[in-house]
Amino acid sequence: MSFAYVKNIFLVVICLFILFREGTCAFACSLLAATGDRLKDGGTLVAMTWDVPRNIKGELRLVIPRKGSPYLGLFPLQAKNEGNIVAGLNEPGLVLITASVDSKPSKKGFLRRCSLVETILRSFGTVDAVIANTNLISNAPPLFLIIADKSKIALIQIGSHGRYTVDCIENGLLYQTNHYTHQNLLRENEIYVENSILRYNRLQNLLANQSTHFKVEDFLSLADDRGNGPDNSIWRSGSSEKKDRTLARWVVYLSKNSVPELYFRLLNPGNNELNYEIKTDKAFWTEGIE
């Protein structure tokens, strides 16, 4: 696969596969991040697994906007809607991973959610800059975000009617699945989502049992964990064709002293598994890599 750089265009799309499908894409995810003294060599680690129905496929896209920062994003492939970004890393070194709110019945605001993610990736380079923009967050639809730079991570839980919470730390761990966990937003949970709760508890237990500093290999292992069975693990194989399964793993290491590194795994149905390790140095953002 090659990542081609093209000047003076709005998008550079790296297509892995093409899927023609109507409607929106399921968006269940498990999110985790560590920063500061929880890492062996400092910096920040971020990981996401992306769970979807069986017929969904995904792709990486390198996006070069007319204004703002270039970013590498993970997208579902769809015929009618090419938005719906689920994770991204921009040139300044800001990482953003997302999870849908499955504990509320309404799925309205889907496109506004995608606009929020892409606005952040185009416009901001640090966690502090994002969380200072309160209007941007309060006007967004329900969504869970973890944003990270090399020295800080933040978990943003966005509820309805402008309500949201931000947990921001320089040392420690944050994690999230698909239901509200902050005390101030528990009333936003209108539907009991057992799968999300089981994955959240699994993450909590795995992270609590880690007595040593985290390394990239640890986050890769956490993202691949299948200890809760086919339907409730961090990496989900799905017990039947009607059950969601994990399509992609997105792990980023933001080093204190080097360029961000992406460790990406994609299992598009009907195609071979893809694994990439990408160092996002200056050449990547200006020329692409082979």
Q: What is the pLDDT of residue 110?
A: 46
Share of the chain above pLDDT 70, in %: 84
- Evaluated on CA atoms 226, 272, 13, 77, the torsion sign reads negative
* pLDDT reported for residue 48: 98
More confidently predicted of 16 and 107: 107
- How much is the average pLDDT of 267-285? 93
- Residue 82: pLDDT over 70: no
| Reported confidence tier of residue 101, pLDDT bands at 50, 70, 90 | very high
Q: What is the structure's pLDDT at 261? A: 98
Q: How large is the average pLDDT for residues 169-181?
A: 97
Contact call for residues 157 and 176 (beta carbons, < 8 A): yes
pLDDT, mean over the chain: 87
CA atoms within 13 A on the CB side of 114: 17
What are the pLDDT digits (tens) for 150-159? 999 999 999 9
Q: What is the pLDDT of residues 32-49, one digit of tens each?
A: 999 999 998 899 999 999
Give the helix ranges, DSSP H, for the chain.
Answer: 110-123, 127-131, 134-138, 194-208, 216-223, 282-287
